Amino acid sequence: MADRFEQALRAGSARFAMNTDIERPHDVRARGERRRRRRIAVVASAVVLAVAGLGGTAYATGWGPSSAPPAGTTRSPAPSHSPSPSRSAAPSHRADGGMSEQPESPDPTGSASSTRQCSLGDLRDPTVVDGGVGGGHSLNVVRLGYTGAQPCTLTGYPTLTYLCGGNEQTGEKHCVLPARRGTWFDGGPKKEYGGTVQPGGAVYFDLATVSEPTAGEKQTYSAVRVVIDRDTQPLIDGGPFESTGGVSVSQWYVQAG
Amino acid sequence: MRDPRDFDSFYLGTAPRVTSQVYAMVGNRADAEDIVQEAYARAWQYWDKVSGYDSPEAWVRTIAFRIAVSTWRKAINRFTAHRRHGAPESLPGADPNYVAIVAALRLITPEQRRAVVLFHLVGLSVAEIAAETGVAVGTVRARLTRGRQALAPHLSEYAAELSAPEPEVAHHG
């Protein structure tokens, strides 16, 4: 049981998160690309300097720039640390029917290589089509119809928003729903995440909430929408969603259950 | 191959939460936002590897906390620590108790603060904090205990429970 200090810290932080405006992902990636280019330039300079330092000796013995650079001049792009190197890559399902926050590994079948990636713009009409309550949690299976003309593969997690302020008169404010990434074990067969969707088919994701009263103060997430792109965010038919312990979403999958 | 959509989904789903956690570490919204953007930019730089980790969010958080400590040290070196990290900023609409907690967190050591934030806010176990911060379990316990004790004089509202002997491992296992 969390003490009052922890409850106050978490409640204040959750409110802070809900009111946080973040940069557009494109801008963050652009910043990362600039860092990447700078790093490549630095490494390239180091290689040039090393080659220059070796001078004519290297060329005289037949070692040219097209050969492998000397040891110590290349650097691995991997960061020098991993926060939890011993953790298993396998998803973990809890026997009590709860959710795991361990992200699922990407589609292990490699089927994505044979078909193109889906465009989220081809997805329509998100609707809660299934679900249930058990073990203090609630599961909502959300279905979206696929309108594309070609089979495609879909991986990753959906991004959701909810109505976080304002009204019709003053203008509604929508915030990114701070959903955890999770998997849901509902007692049925293990779900295969990702996969290929056929024209006229459908894709799904799970939206899990917590119904256990002691998990925290009940929050109501109204007007929950699926982010297709910056301007297209269809409303999920079947909301609003209530939870005492936040919201978790699964990866996309093609077959429900 | 780095998938921008996968990264964007990860970023949109986790950045507000990580920002709030970093804010608890640094006590300044602008600094927290800058640090988090930098951490996510690095995540995209290495996304082909980071995306394969079990918890990319933990990786980003670790990077962000390191940047925070680095920023803090640079500020100290520039004798601008008080301006940047002295008086807590006002946070419109925030719970006064939360503002008081964040202000008090700035009065304990960064190592203790990180342990307190990871344990009480992020919700990691002592063992998970030890793995994420690269120190022994006993060290984490000591930082938690001392951190809570150091906070107690500054948070009279919670002084009794913060001063309780080793309450911190009771509910996290």
Closest residue in A to B103 (Cα) is A9
Q: Residue A13 is nearest to which of B3, B20, B54, comparing CB atoms?
A: B20
Closest residue in A to B53 (Cα) is A89
Report CA torsion sign: B152, B155, B157, B158: negative
Report yes or no: B34 at the A interface, CB cutoff 8 Å. Answer: no
- Beta strands A123-134 and A137-146: pairing type? antiparallel
Cβ-Cβ contacts under 8 Å, A155 against chain B: 3, 6
B120 and B159 part of one domain: yes
Q: Which domain holds residue B63?
A: 1-87
Look up the ipTM and state it. Answer: 0.84
B126 and B170 part of one domain: yes
Do the chains contact at A84 and B58, CB–CB below 8 Å?
yes
pLDDT of residue B89: 58
Do the chains contact at A9 and B120, CB–CB below 8 Å?
yes
> Of the segments A19-23, A24-28, A242-246, B145-149, which one has the largest average pLDDT value?
B145-149
Q: How many domains does chain B have?
A: 2
Integer Cα distance of A138 and A142 in angstroms: 13
Give the mutation candidate from A1, A24, A29 for the B interface (greatest B CB count, under 10 A). Answer: A29
pLDDT of residue A228: 86
Do the chains contact at A3 and B161, CB–CB below 8 Å?
yes
Per-residue pLDDT averaged across B23-46, rounded? 90
Integer Cα distance of A118 and A5 in angstroms: 46
B77 and B104 part of one domain: no
Q: Residue A29 is nearest to which of B7, B24, B62, comparing CB atoms?
A: B7
Do the chains contact at A159 and B8, CB–CB below 8 Å?
yes
DSSP string, A33-65: HHHHHHHHHHHHHHHHHHHHHHTHHHHHTT--T
For residue B157, give every residue at least 6 positions away whose Cβ sits within 8 Å of its Cβ, in sequence order, or none: A4, B97, B100
pLDDT at B69 over 60: yes
Closest residue in B to A40 (Cα) is B45
- Short-list B21, B26, B24, B16, CA closest to B98: B24
Domain boundary among B87, B122, B140: B87
B80 and B107 part of one domain: no
Do the chains contact at B8 and A25, CB–CB below 8 Å?
yes
- DSSP H helical ranges for A103-172: none
pLDDT tens digits, one per residue of A186-198 = 555 567 788 889 9
Do the chains contact at B158 and A18, CB–CB below 8 Å?
no
Domain boundary among B33, B65, B87: B87
**Residues 70-89 (B) with a CB less than 8 A from some CB of A:** none
CA B18 to chain A, closest CA, distance in angstroms equals 8
Per-residue pLDDT averaged across A42-56, rounded? 57
Helix or strand run (H / E) with residue A186: none
Core vs surface per residue A141-178: b (16+ CB within 10 A) or e: bbbbebebeeebbbbbbbbbbbbbeeeeeeeeebbbbb
Q: Residue A22 is nearest to which of B9, B16, B95, comparing CB atoms?
A: B16
Pick the CATH number of A98-249 from 1.20.1440, 1.10.1740, 3.40.1010, 2.60.40: 2.60.40
B130 and B72 part of one domain: no
Closest residue in A to B40 (Cα) is A28
B6 and B81 part of one domain: yes
Do the chains contact at A83 and B58, CB–CB below 8 Å?
yes
For residue A26, give every residue at least 6 positions away whose Cβ sits within 8 Å of its Cβ, in sequence order, or none: B8
Report yes or no: B102 at the A interface, CB cutoff 8 Å. Answer: yes
Integer Cα distance of A215 and B93 in angstroms: 24
B68 and B20 part of one domain: yes
Q: What are the structure tokens assigned to A68, written together? A: 């492998």
Cα B61 to chain centroid distance, Å, stands at: 8
B22 and B65 part of one domain: yes
For residue A123, give every residue at least 6 positions away whose Cβ sits within 8 Å of its Cβ, in sequence order, or none: A144, A145, A146, A147, A203, A226, A228
pLDDT of residue A190: 62
Domain ranges of chain A: 11-77, 98-249
Do the chains contact at B17 and A17, CB–CB below 8 Å?
yes
pLDDT of residue A62: 31
Do the chains contact at A31 and B38, CB–CB below 8 Å?
yes
The domain that holds B157 is classified in CATH as 1.10.10.10
Alpha carbon distance, N-terminus to C-terminus of chain A? 33
pLDDT at A132 over 80: no
B147 and B100 part of one domain: yes
pLDDT at B19 over 80: yes
B102 and B157 part of one domain: yes
B116 and B81 part of one domain: no
Q: What are the structure tokens assigned to A184, written together? A: 């849901």
Q: How many CA atoms lie within 13 A of B26 on its CB side?
A: 30
Integer Cα distance of A238 and A242 in angstroms: 12
pLDDT of residue A126: 93
Instruction: Check: CB of residue A121 under 8 Å from CB of residue A232.
Output: yes
pLDDT tens digits, one per residue of B125-161 = 899 888 888 889 999 999 999 999 999 999 988 888 8
pLDDT of residue A108: 34
pLDDT tens digits, one per residue of A136-187 = 678 888 999 999 898 998 888 898 999 888 777 777 788 888 888 776 655 5
Q: What is the phi/psi pair of residue A155, to 5°?
A: -130, 170
CA B135 to chain A, closest CA, distance in angstroms equals 11
Residue A21: pLDDT band (50, 70, 90) is confident
pLDDT of residue A24: 86
Which segment of A72-76, B89-93, B155-159 scores lowest on mean pLDDT? A72-76
Angle CA(B73)–CA(A38)–CA(B22) in degrees, nearest 5? 35
Q: Which residue has the tokens 């915030």?
A: A175
Domain boundary among B55, B87, B119: B87
